[in-house]
Chains A and B, each alone.
Chain A
């Protein structure tokens, strides 16, 4: 709904301003650790990625942080992580997170960043939303400019507890269709709390007959939901006098690190798209 705000820039274009490149000197001394990782309820190896900030005008990916000691505890057990490839740490053994349990991530860096060697974050696993089924159907009369004309819908009982937040992730024929964050679907349960979800449109995609469609329903915390929305907004930031000042996004990692350690409850549904 709030997407109608997108019309406002249309108006601004009318006063088609001129643009030109400008050289800026930015003060880039301050480096920070970036954490991207999760623990899910799937019995699998869990992954934590460590990187750090880089100069704004570089044309490369940001550098990975190697040689760190990474562990996750649930209060009783400790799960050690080992560095799989540069900056990618996976749990030594597969383990599954449990609903309602709090997980804590501890990081000890080999070389301190910004004089900090130790970082931590913790989060509690929310309740799971399990969809009964998903369907994939072609739109009846798609507008001509729409190419993503296959609609995926979900059915299922939404948990009774209020304040649940969901992200949906889509795989088509084993390939990650929504591999960047802004392609995924997000919603909260404000309008459906505790009700049966009657065919909620989750994705539109452009596909072929007999595609195997896998949808991961991820139940996340409200904090992570807010973080993601703000992150997507900042990542697509255009700047300007008509919006508020930009600002850094608060994650849940200690010592001023960026990023988020999220604990999420995931369920999976599968269907095959049949062209009729």
Chain B
């Protein structure tokens, strides 16, 4: 409703203005791309400022900008933090193409650019609840085992919570793990973790930048309730061959990029492999000696500029984890899982004002486990699960005039789900065959949004997205009564559409610029989610089961409102913000007590549906310039759920609730050779359910539990430090070769943070029990060597 009201309020103004102006006022367009002069990478979010009009624009996700102005003389200033500004005077008498290459400024290279944006973007942009990070920033934060990780870095921001020690899984503003959309070059990454979540699948060397939306997600994205993590791979150096690599404690990396044809075609190839398994023979437990345990990632990208109006990109990611352990009868138990994504994109300029991008995206996640080479054949089995998503997308940006930027587009996708299939590999197998029925879904979306300046101080952004989601056969659907008991099942034929759900997702945001240094922003969004992760564990495992909305599962939806005050100090050197949010989530999924999640064809009958609510305040102060940089974030939050069938219908705390959460991230550049990093995190303990007594039945002792999540784990806190030594080349960008050593210490004061608390028998007697805390990491030092040449 709000949305329709706004459209009617503002669009007439636009059209009237244009009608009146059409006859008298001509507009010409200046457009082009802004790139890095050193490697030809597109600069996303770079600023073009027109001095005469005191107005400007920023480049889009492909480095493209377009400004339509009345004829006249203008001075354009092109800028991007970390690069030298360039001014350019034009006499605008016709449409002009102007590509700009900005020189990295060596002086500023040593400053960490948390936000590589227009200097006052914190205050001047309409967008709120968003943080952008460049891979350079990420690489300077102390990391677990020296493995730089984008997904762990965002957990250091207010409003983003780790789901468990060392985990790349995260919760945004009280939402579930599956409510985060993680995109790599526009392809959905369904399970972004390696090694049970300790490392993410993203090789930082291959990544250009990351943008996190905790709310106010642009209308061009949809499908998840709580957040969007938009990760973009580097395009590949257009100027010269470049090699980056690193040798770390648990993995090594190598990235090669360069031009195939200078300034026209370039490529990037990156690989990473862990070698933790090399150390297994040193383990105290002999059973581990013959085990296999590793992961690897491959990134590939090719891009080609055909001409000013057409550009192509192909990007691919392939990663896998492999584990093999000796199990029963020496038959190796093996498990492997991984993601594959492929994106093909075509940027096309229909005119200087109309930018378009067409994408074909394919992504998949699968896992397989079993005993495949057992000598004792009756125990051999294999368990497979698979998920595929194929999407076609078209996105348009129409730069009407400096006051209006219209974005619109459409997408269609086909998804195939195979939740799990197990079979014994022998006729006399002790395992029966279990086949959780596969299913398919189609989804279609269209959207439009406009960003509109009204006067000098107000900017509005409004958009609407519509999604139609359809389940199609061939499928077997179980029907349940109101007590979730299976009544019967229905089989649908191939390509038969047997269920549809749809909905509108309006977005609205507003900025009021109080003065040059401060602004107030507010946003509202309604988001929908049609894919659901079946998991009742807080920490992820590789055994993810994604389910589509279906006759038994309504789409999840959320309404989120946020309001914030943004202010910069000391000539934009310090950015500060306070945001308050409230989020109500509907049709949330939890599981009944003692639910059977794995290999259960009637999984939908184990699901329970309810409401969730989250609210909080986020405070962030960042210093983005100078020798001393970093940020301090604090979140005060509450997240709870209410389900009729869980906890007797009483509200209970979400497992992702953390009342207080503090993160401090500091970086100090002593000189060109040495820099130091430090972070400290503190969070209220995770809510858990503990026994409040015991009872006996059938000669067994069992606990009596408290209501759900009424206890909490001990509070979490940890400090990490790092020191980086750079080889002596003074001006790094211009030398052919330079290298650096990084020494990191994770958990420097060796706090044993509880990962979980369990209750175990003492002396083999079930009558004697004690509480046991499990912690994952003590103090962990690591060393990494990085090199670069071109």
Contact = CB atoms under 8 A, between A and B. Distances in A.
B20 interface: no
Contacts of B325: 10-11, 14
Interface string A200-220: 000000000000000000000
A2 B757 CA distance: 25
Interface stretch (A96-104, A124-132, A177-185): A177-185
Given A7-B327, A19-B773, A240-B758, A181 B700 contact: yes
Contact of A20 (B434, B765, B772): B772
A269 to B, nearest CB: 22
A233 interface: yes
B327 to A, nearest CB: 7
B369 A260 contact: no
Interface stretch (A69-77, A105-113, A149-157, A243-251): A243-251
A234 B702 contact: yes
B699 A62 contact: no
Interface in A222-240: 228-235, 237-240
A11 B323 contact: yes
A47 interface: no
Interface in B512-546: 536-539, 541, 543
B775 A1 contact: no
B598 A5 contact: yes
B692 A244 contact: no
A207 to B, nearest CB: 21
A259 B760 CA distance: 22
A256 to B, nearest CB: 10
Contacts of A19: 772-775
Interface in B738-778: 752, 754-760, 765, 767-776, 778
Nearest to B370: A4
Interface residues of A, number: 70
A8 B628 CA distance: 45
B693 A30 contact: yes
Contact of B689 (A53, A246, A259): A246
A22 B769 CA distance: 12
Nearest to B770: A21
B698 A36 contact: yes
Interface string A158-187: 000000000000000000000111100000
Contact of B599 (A2, A10, A240, A260): A2
B383 A22 contact: no
A204 to B, nearest CB: 12
Contact of B696 (A14, A22, A61, A191): A61
B752 to A, nearest CB: 7
Question: What range describes how many residues of B lie at the interface?
Answer: 35 or more
Nearest to B163: A241
B692 A30 contact: yes
Interface in B592-642: 593-599
A18 B778 contact: yes
B697 A181 contact: yes
Contact of B335 (A11, A30, A52): A11
B82 to A, nearest CB: 38
A15 B774 contact: no
Contact of B702 (A2, A12, A235): A235
- Which of B696, B701, B714 is packed against the most chain A CB atoms within 10 Å? B696
A94 to B, nearest CB: 23
A134 interface: no
Contact of A59 (B538, B692, B767): B767
Interface string B773-790: 111101000000000000
A23 B285 CA distance: 28
A260 B702 CA distance: 14
A70 B540 CA distance: 49
B369 A7 contact: yes
A249 B702 contact: yes
- Which of B327, B376, B757, B774 is packed against the most chain A CB atoms within 10 Å? B774
A16 interface: yes
Interface stretch (B463-471, B571-579, B705-713): B705-713
B709 A239 contact: no
- Which of B538, B693, B703, B778 is packed against the most chain A CB atoms within 10 Å? B693
A228 B594 CA distance: 12
A167 to B, nearest CB: 10
A34 B691 CA distance: 16
A60 B698 CA distance: 16
Nearest to B600: A2
B291 interface: yes
Nearest to B329: A143
A254 interface: no
B539 A32 contact: no
Contact of B697 (A31, A242, A259): A259
Contacts of B327: 7, 10
Contacts of B596: 2
Interface string B361-377: 00000000100000010
B74 interface: no
- Which of B195, B335, B591, B759 is packed against the most chain A CB atoms within 10 Å? B759
Contacts, number: 212
Contacts of A246: 689, 703, 705
Contacts of B709: 245
A240 B196 CA distance: 14
A78 B376 CA distance: 57
Contacts of A31: 693
Given A230-B593, A248-B705, A242 B537 contact: yes
- Which of A31, A230, A235 is packed against the most chain B CB atoms within 10 Å? A235
A62 B323 CA distance: 44
Contacts of A7: 327, 333, 369
A60 B696 CA distance: 11
B112 to A, nearest CB: 32
B164 interface: yes
A32 B704 contact: yes
Interface in A1-60: 1-2, 4-5, 7-8, 10-12, 14-24, 26-28, 30-32, 34, 36, 51-60
Contacts of A266: none
Contacts of B438: none
B403 to A, nearest CB: 50
Contacts of B694: 53-56, 58, 62
Nearest to A227: B697
Nearest to B167: A241
B78 interface: no
A15 B776 contact: yes
Contact of A56 (B198, B536, B597, B769): B769
Given A1-B432, A239-B757, A18 B697 contact: no
B774 A240 contact: yes
B76 to A, nearest CB: 54
B422 A1 contact: yes
A136 interface: no
Contacts of A15: 195-196, 198, 776
A241 B383 contact: no
B771 A231 contact: no
A202 to B, nearest CB: 15
A61 B700 CA distance: 10
A228 B697 CA distance: 10
A14 B539 contact: no
Contacts of B591: 244
Given A7-B327, A16-B285, A26-B691, 10 more contacts: A24-B757, A34-B695, A56-B691, A61-B696, A180-B699, A235-B701, A244-B597, A245-B536, A248-B705, A249-B702
16 contacts: A4-B383, A11-B323, A14-B325, A15-B776, A26-B691, A51-B695, A54-B695, A181-B700, A233-B594, A238-B758, A241-B537, A242-B541, A243-B536, A244-B595, A249-B702, A260-B697
**Shortest 6 CB-CB contacts between residues of A and residues of B:** A244-B536, A181-B698, A239-B758, A247-B593, A241-B539, A22-B773
